[in-house]
Amino acid sequence: MRKKEVNACSIQQWYPLFVNLSNKARKRVTLPCKWIELPTNFVHEFLLSDDSIILPPSVLQSSSTRETEWESDIDGKYEDPVQEQNMQQQFSTELLESIQKVQHFIESCLEEYDGEVFPKCNWSAPKDATFMLFHQSLKCQSVEDVFLVLRSSDFTVYDMEKVYEGVENAQNEEEEDVPKVLALKPFYDVNPSMEFRCFIFEKKIVGISQRDPSHCYSFLKSNSSLYESCIQEFYDEYVRDVFPLENYTMDVYINKKQQCFIVDFNVWGEPTVTLLYDSFKELEELASSNPDTEKMRIVQDSKQIIRPTISQYHGLPIDMYNTSIPTHTTPEQDDAQQLVALAQQHASKEQKKN
């Protein structure tokens, strides 16, 4: 993987290539989006800060402008001047200015997109932090919501700090790092069954996978050929001669009118997930051995795979996650035995308390 491939998949690089593509049949081929280049101190001193998630007063005031019914019946809200002064001291003047710059951008997008936005950074959306919001999704309705999911997400950390770690000979490349951005799209309550990941190798689609491998959508079985044709036609007309890379992946969404929309692009290879394919090596072998076979893969029945969703995986308590890592148990013990051992240990602690 080369740095120019990583950069090409950053949203501020690929979005301008497709935003104005249209014809008589359709107005756009991707969803509306705006972004802001993030100030360096905002990234390192606020977004990636190890401190507890504390928001400056300006953000809290912005998020509290929607007055509830019971609040309108009392004489204003209680404000602790000492607490407010302490919070102000945690943010330098320069950092507050950067935060307010990003805050104003978010407020502008909220106003334009009917009060609901979907946030993402250059390459990733903070889908691992949906548990931080009440409705368990990335429907952000305030500046506070956006900051909360970004600061709670490992995906954000990856985009900001680690995205070039897998690049070969990165120091020898003349390609520069792309600026870090926050992108906001209008929030759509999309049907996850109609999201697909396309694997493009040497400018040809060699595989298409159901984007959500945690569910079996039975209707996809009888319509897979239709959706494959829809994606192929879309790729041939709008993407193949426009996107600059030879090998990459593309996430698309198909609406009720059987129209495809570009959701995102990702690099060919790790850390991109191959979903219902075993590996990128398998995809390359399929490209050379069976170029004309059916490319669509879906979950055939409820007994197949069924992997956890991103929110389920990242919402797993750390103690449960650690059962897959041998610690005080013997190497012969499997995950089930470790889970039993953990439960027994917890029960023993509770008995001692009582």
Q: What is the pLDDT of residues 94-110, one digit of tens each?
A: 999 999 999 999 999 99
Q: Residue 313 above 90 pLDDT?
A: no
Q: What is residue 343's predicted lDDT score, i.e. its pLDDT?
A: 59
Is the pLDDT confidence value at 77 over 80? no
User: Which band of pLDDT confidence, cut at 50, 70 and 90, is reported for residue 171?
Assistant: low
Q: Give the separation between CA 197 and CA 296, rounded to whole angstroms.
A: 10
Whole-number pLDDT of residue 245: 97
Q: Distance between CA 103 and CA 144 in Å, rounded?
A: 9
How do residues 198-232 score in pLDDT, each as one tens digit? 999 999 999 999 999 988 999 999 999 999 999 99
Q: Are residues 14 and 144 in the same domain?
A: yes
Contact indicator for 258, 230 with CB cutoff of 8 Å: yes
Question: Residue 102: what pLDDT?
Answer: 97
* pLDDT above 70 (res 281): yes
| pLDDT for the residue numbered 115 | 96
Q: Would you say residue 131 lies in a domain?
A: yes
> Could you tell me which residue, 283 or 343, shows the higher pLDDT?
283
CA-nearest of 214, 216, 167, 194 to 314 is 214
Confidence bin at 73 (pLDDT 50/70/90): very low
Q: Same domain, yes or no, for 182 and 196? A: no
Q: Is 204 helix (H, G, I), strand (E, B) or coil?
A: strand
| One domain, residues 340 and 211 | no
Beta strands 34-37 and 204-210: pairing type?
Answer: unpaired
Q: Please tell me the distance from the alpha carbon of residue 2 to that of residue 190, in angstroms, as a whole number.
A: 33
Which of 135, 152, 186 is the last residue in one of the domains? 186
Candidate ranges 58-67, 151-160, 324-333; pick with highest mean pLDDT: 151-160
> Do both 102 and 214 map to the same domain?
no
- Domain match, 226 and 77 both: no
- Indicate whether 306 belongs to any domain: no
Residue 227 and residue 162 share a domain: no
| Higher per-residue pLDDT: 107 or 62 | 107
Query: Which pLDDT score is estimated for 307?
Result: 61
Q: What phi and psi values does residue 323 have, to the nearest 5 degrees?
A: -65, -20
Residue 332: the pLDDT is 45
Query: Which of 18-22, 153-157, 163-167, 305-309 shows the highest mean pLDDT?
Result: 153-157
Name residue 65's amino acid.
T
Residues 348 and 286 placed together within one structural domain of the fold: no
Mean pLDDT of the chain: 83
Is there a contact between 41 and 95 (Cβ–Cβ < 8 Å)? Answer: yes
Across residues 284-293, what is the average pLDDT?
80
Residue 84 forms part of a structural domain: yes
pLDDT at 64 over 70: no
In a domain, 314, yes or no: no
Q: What is the pLDDT of residue 351?
A: 52
Task: Identify the three-state secondary structure at position 30.
Answer: strand
User: What tokens were used for 72?
Assistant: 């309108």
Give the least confident one: 74-88, 199-213, 256-270: 74-88
Rounded distance between C-alpha atoms, residue 82 and residue 79, angstroms: 9
Instruction: Note whether 8 and 149 are same-domain residues.
Output: yes
Which CATH number covers residue 245? Answer: 3.30.470
Question: Is residue 161 located within the same domain as residue 205?
Answer: no
How does DSSP assign 41-97, residue by residue? HIIIIIIT--S-----HHHHHHHT-S--TTGGGSSS----HHHHHHHHHTS-HHHHH
Radius of gyration of the chain (CA): 23
User: Per-residue confidence at 308, pLDDT binned at 50, 70, 90?
Assistant: low
The confidence band for 62, taking pLDDT boundaries of 50, 70 and 90, is low
The Cα–Cα gap between 76 and 59 comes to 18
Which residue has tokens 């009720």?
256
Work out how many domains the chain is built from and give that number. Answer: 3
Q: Which of 26-30, 55-59, 87-91, 145-149 has the highest mean pLDDT?
A: 145-149
Q: Identify whether the C-beta of residue 1 lies closer than 8 Å to the C-beta of residue 247.
A: no
Q: What is the pTM of this model?
A: 0.81
Q: Is residue 313 part of a domain?
A: no
- Residue 294, pLDDT score: 81
Interval 155-173 mean pLDDT: 85
Let me know: does 47 contact 38? Beta carbons within 8 Å: yes
| Residue ranges making up the domain that contains 273 | 192-297
**Torsion over CA of 7, 9, 14 and 18, rounded to 10 degrees?**
160
State which of 186, 221, 241 marks the end of a domain.
186
Q: Using one digit for the tens of pLDDT, what is the confidence trace for 326-342?
A: 444 444 445 555 655 66
- Are 230 and 279 contacting, i.e. CB atoms less than 8 angstroms apart? no
**Of 20-34, 93-107, 235-249, 312-326, the least confident:** 312-326
Reply yes or no on whether the pLDDT at 127 is more than 50: yes
Same domain assignment for residues 21 and 140: yes
For residues 128 and 36, membership in a common domain is answered with yes
Query: Do residues 30 and 67 both lie within one domain?
Result: yes
Query: For position 194, what pLDDT does the model report?
Result: 96
Query: If you search the block for the tokens 């439960």, which residue do you land on?
Result: 343
Q: Which residues contact 317 (CB under 8 A, 6 or more apart)?
A: none
